[in-house]
Structure 1
């Protein structure tokens, strides 16, 4: 069983087991996901299998690779089950969102220049930039095709919902890239509310789409589909806030990234932006470190910057942000008539994601 390290506001640590729903949903979805990837041209199919953590560059199974948490496919399956439908009805949606997630990671790594993904070389680093772009395109095409072929008359509405999520994802990614060129302070600085909007589009849109597709394919009414979409969007903002905490203070042995990695790269993440927004002497010292001609890639400088972020309240603000949006997601669920047992599984998943490190 996998586990996550829990880091509370006071920095205490413990172990929280991954909820059984993740493994159960993965087992349900995996055959159809493998069929979708198997239908690709062999070369992009090989790269897709690498991106999904299934195979190494020789095309053989890679037992050391991580396949990720499978959150999106689980949300799709649970989205059907909370509406009283069998999880099998959501499998086309689960496959589609998992493929779109893989596509987005392949392209994100290219845009961000990230050489590692899940503790091994990213697709672009292994195969080259052009082939990696092609692999991402193939994953996206397979996602749309899988959803369009969903049984019954729901394929069209499902594809329409997925296309809306894709448009939001692109908008969020565009904002994220543009943030990199904006100053740390002054009128053009990125504020926490702008970052929150970016996170909802870049991360929340697909999580909301996953849960909504499960409900839609399960035959739920529009009000329920909309409520689950809203819950997923709130989860996305919380998910991004936790990711940002891990990007600074995460355990490298679990995250696969260097400690203080986001600070070394001068990424504009929620803890940093919240710290700068506090506008006190510590925030001004942090801004001076970030604005220095010498980037904070030295271990000592990066550790000092992390201490300043924490002292200015950035770490606490990010934790508060995460828990606020998790509570909002729960409120969306509680305001909708849903199957109690399946809702309990969703609640377990929310708690796990709030305290993950992998």
Structure 2
């Protein structure tokens, strides 16, 4: 495939994602093709390349935000997107490893408008497919031949360690009645923000950026990642199923302790107390219960707080981007940041 280099400054966020896919998808498919047939089948289904019978499909994949951030970060420090393709592929492999495992642990039965991989191929197979992707991510960096590969491996390994710690903390929080807001925020920083920060830092490293630039772009990605988690948590309660691919109030049916929920539970309001009663009952929430829980989260201030936090974190991320002194792609990085923190996705 011939890829035309696009001059900086003019791409919209959707155009950036299409441009990124031109670079990343061929390399990602080539890496996945090295897997044993059964695991390749599961992974291809999970990422939306084909259906459960391996018939090609279109439009089923996610936005692939993380690889786009890696490529843009490389160009922001004066490098080229092709140089950063191994970094972009690695972070996308890690992201999908985490999604395969998360769906199993959370019991989620739907992702991107169709059944999750574990419901189709079984729990064990989905876990093994995720393990295979994590292994591939490290292999891609280790065999890239890039001067930044060794540092990149350390950076990615540290991010994965935080991601796993965050997921472990998340599982623990769901089993407890009392959860405070700072520990919920720390969980989100590890579970979500660490990998977005790593995507930006890896891209900058593979683009030849200075230590200071890598650090500022990592901070940009981490602030953006936490903002993204606030948005994702809001969508888990109030999101349009046609856009999210999940039922409305899905996080409430599962009684997940997400950021707006924990803010509401710790609000000291009557609405927060009412939400706690619903969350502590033994029987599953009915449709009416879930609707009432959403009203209580809003009444207790959880919805407004998460919205304000997302906006503040977006502003913080853009300050960090400015501190990195980007020589290119600043406009595209800002456009992508605003895309992922929109509440109407």
TM-score scaled to structure 1, two decimals?
Answer: 0.91
Counterpart of 2:70 (choices 66, 76, 83) is 76
Aligned length: 334
Cα displacement string for residues 90-142 of structure 1 (whole angstroms, at most 9, x for unaligned residues): 10000000011111100111111111111111111111111111111111111
C-alpha deviation, 1:295, in angstroms: 3.2
How do 1:1-358 and structure 2 match up within 5 A?
A: 18-63=13-58, 65-183=59-177, 189-296=178-285, 298-339=286-327, 341-358=328-345
State the SS of the aligned residue for 2:221. helix
Taking only aligned residues, the RMSD between alpha carbons, in angstroms, comes to 1.3
**Contact residue 255 and residue 357 of structure 1 kept, 8 A:** no
Once residues 175 and 29 of structure 2 are traced to their aligned partners in structure 1, the CA distance between those partners, rounded to angstroms, is 40
C-alpha deviation, 1:232, in angstroms: 0.9
**Contact residue 227 and residue 313 of structure 2 kept, 8 A:** yes
Cα displacement string for residues 144-175 of structure 1 (whole angstroms, at most 9, x for unaligned residues): 11111123322111111110111000110010
Moved more, 270-279 or 96-105: 270-279
Q: Which residue of structure 2 lines up, in the alignment, with residue 9 of structure 1? A: none
State the SS of the aligned residue for 2:51. coil
C-alpha deviation, 1:294, in angstroms: 3.0
| C-alpha spacing 1:356/1:36, structure 2 compared with 1 (3 Å) | farther
Once residues 210 and 284 of structure 2 are traced to their aligned partners in structure 1, the CA distance between those partners, rounded to angstroms, is 52
Structure 1 stretches lacking a partner, 5+ long: 1-16, 184-188
C-alpha deviation, 1:356, in angstroms: 4.8
C-alpha deviation, 1:357, in angstroms: 4.8
Once residues 194 and 331 of structure 1 are traced to their aligned partners in structure 2, the CA distance between those partners, rounded to angstroms, is 25
Once residues 179 and 253 of structure 2 are traced to their aligned partners in structure 1, the CA distance between those partners, rounded to angstroms, is 18
State the SS of the aligned residue for 1:19. helix
Cα displacement string for residues 58-86 of structure 1 (whole angstroms, at most 9, x for unaligned residues): 212112x5210110000100110111111
TM-score scaled to structure 2, two decimals?
Answer: 0.94
Once residues 51 and 280 of structure 2 are traced to their aligned partners in structure 1, the CA distance between those partners, rounded to angstroms, is 40
Moved more, 286-295 or 112-121: 286-295
Once residues 239 and 326 of structure 2 are traced to their aligned partners in structure 1, the CA distance between those partners, rounded to angstroms, is 35
Once residues 318 and 309 of structure 1 are traced to their aligned partners in structure 2, the CA distance between those partners, rounded to angstroms, is 11
| C-alpha spacing 1:356/1:88, structure 2 compared with 1 (3 Å) | farther
Structure 2 stretches lacking a partner, 5+ long: 1-11
Once residues 48 and 204 of structure 1 are traced to their aligned partners in structure 2, the CA distance between those partners, rounded to angstroms, is 24
Q: Which residue of structure 2 lines up, in the alignment, with residue 4 of structure 1? A: none
| C-alpha spacing 1:315/1:356, structure 2 compared with 1 (3 Å) | closer
